[in-house]
Chain A
């Protein structure tokens, strides 16, 4: 990580006539905070793009008279949060979307939730809002009641203006929100000619369940529970990010053993998801042998997580100040044994996957995402890694205990489903190594530090690497030591748009495998 660029960037802003004030923000550290005038918001993004910063996340907040807008950038592993205030009476400012496609949906979300208008945003359509609240209501404003002003029954959301394609032989396939498999709900609108996909448009927001709103007023422990349910498959990653943010805001330091155990759980979560998804990808191309083998390995893995930590997904095991479950010597020994046998089995299975002609036929060149597009979209995790974007928080913005570990992040450039599978296979093996090191070095001592609520207005930022990539959590406390604002940014925000692009020119029957190879979280995105 190097923060050197931030000083240059601030100089650059000054040179462009953009007044930027760096403000102290101990809870955000190591990220830094700059405040800019709302009128300069768009030019700030322009400068950041010229500086080759990555657009990480954007969120808003009701600050009383003012509404606050935040955007987080990253370069060389150093994070910068920019903030602007707009008047509640006229909450308008320029958009980042003209410079960063990644900002498109987050800004529409902010508009739907807070009524902040990004006036030159290229897409005027709503995003998160369907029909559960009116376009004149903003759930994240403080005067909006948690219960809302609901109609007796929420009407279906027809009337969203999908892009249309015209021409001889072009037809449309609407899919969802209820899908054919055991999978989360969302809507996909395909335009196709014959079997070929011309265009895909995603319509998400179906599992919006008010996470940001119902976070307000919770205590720290309650927030960690909620964070662990932003996306159930990433419960450890999100709970850890939230706890990191809470702890930085409150100046609480989790003891070294707790940190080691958090990483152990996070790596177990990564392996479980990779195993399950590699199996599911095999299933989507009718290679049921792979489906059952990887399903079996995932189940064995999950069972040991349960006997070690008391929960198959380790939900509610990361808590403010530490962890809720210690690891005994038997469980640690069982993990070591399991890794030896798993590594052995995976060696054989990956070899089979590697040179099976039918898999090669279905996965190679399918769902191609070119490196330039992946970079422009800010794609994360295995989607980014398969298309040349190498960022991994554990290595590039290392947080304890990863700052003392060697993290391998495999990168490929050929960008297809096969590459995404390969990244996940390599990451699985790398995680096994990390777990072994963690077990060997696990410090003795307590697994939690006492919680103390911070002063009113204290804010914190947490960043972890989940199995999908970087998970961000922002928190701010109110005057009673409770949560005033929680914003979690799942990596899926940045990989869903990639799916729309990589599916083009593929055949409709390959959509399931392309979708699974990206495996965006609906829940983590819809909030």
Chain B
């Protein structure tokens, strides 16, 4: 136990303040997000992540949002286990035909008001996989999409920025 406490003390807090992010505007967005999340979602934004056919690259970066460097929970953003608890769907992949029905059902199970973000080149436009007998391509070909985060995969910073912007867009509607 002492070793654990010692380690914790030596490492300290590695979480990075948002203004460090390359883009200056993000400092502002960072301040806004808490306000937006507060106003729109009662202080906490619940995200249900859906892999609808991804190569798993995008998931690795979404995972990273929870590591101590990004610590997305400090903005009131957290990932939930059921679409019924979610305000937002974060959907990756080209939507495989085999996941099409599951994605529709997940969308239907998410209560209104809901936001859908398509993640990655694949989610945005089908990426390397495109549209085929096995793939529906972009997420928007299957369910309505509010925002897109590009990149293959998008970096954790891209993801954070994209999630913040999507909320910002929603609140200014």
B116-130 interface bits toward A, Cβ cutoff 8 Å, 1 = contact, 0 = none:
000000000001111
Inter-chain contact A213/B67, CB cutoff 8 Å: no
How would residues 97 to 119 of chain B score, 1 for a CB under 8 Å from any chain A CB and 0 otherwise? 11111101110000000000000
Contact A146:B54 (CB < 8 A) given known A181-B81, A182-B49 = no
| B140 located at the interface, meaning its Cβ lies under 8 Å from any Cβ of chain A in the complex | no
Cβ-based interface call for B52 (8 A): yes
Residues of A within 8 A of B100 (CB): 153-154
With A154-B101, A156-B101, A207-B93 given, is the CB distance from A523 to B56 under 8 Å? yes
In whole Å, how far is A187's beta carbon from the nearest beta carbon of chain B?
9
For this complex, 27 residue pairs linking A to B, each with C-beta atoms less than 8 Å apart, are A132-B98, A146-B132, A153-B104, A154-B97, A154-B101, A156-B101, A178-B50, A178-B83, A178-B102, A178-B106, A180-B82, A183-B51, A206-B99, A206-B102, A207-B53, A208-B96, A208-B134, A209-B135, A214-B132, A232-B54, A232-B58, A233-B60, A293-B11, A298-B67, A348-B7, A351-B3, A522-B56
B118-171 contacts to A, CB under 8 A, are 127-136, 152-153, 155
Identify the closest chain A residue to B136 (Cβ).
A154
> In the complex, which residues of chain A have a beta carbon less than 8 angstroms from the beta carbon of B130?
214
Interface centre among B14, B51, B52, B100 (most CB of A within 10 A): B51
Q: Which residues of B contact A (CB under 8 A)?
A: 3-4, 7-8, 11, 14, 49-64, 66-69, 79, 81-83, 93-94, 96-102, 104-106, 127-136, 152-153, 155
Identify which of B79, B94, B104 contacts A182 (C-beta below 8 A): B79
Stretch at the interface among A45-53, A223-231, A250-258: A223-231
B127 proximity list for chain A (CB < 8 A): 229
Interface size on A, residues (CB 8 A): 62
B11 touches A296 (CB 8 A): yes
- Is residue A521 within 8 Å, beta carbon to beta carbon, of the partner chain? yes
Q: Mark A272-310, 1 if CB is under 8 A from B, else 0.
A: 000010000000000001001101101100100000000
Evaluate contact between B98 and A229: CB separation under 8 angstroms.
Answer: no
Contact of A210 among B11, B64, B132 (CB under 8 A): B132
Question: Are A184 and B51 in contact (CB-based, < 8 A)?
Answer: yes
Besides the known contacts A181-B79, A526-B98, 13 further A-B residue pairs in the complex with CB atoms under 8 A apart: A132-B98, A177-B102, A178-B102, A206-B98, A206-B99, A207-B53, A209-B94, A232-B153, A235-B57, A298-B67, A348-B3, A348-B7, A523-B56
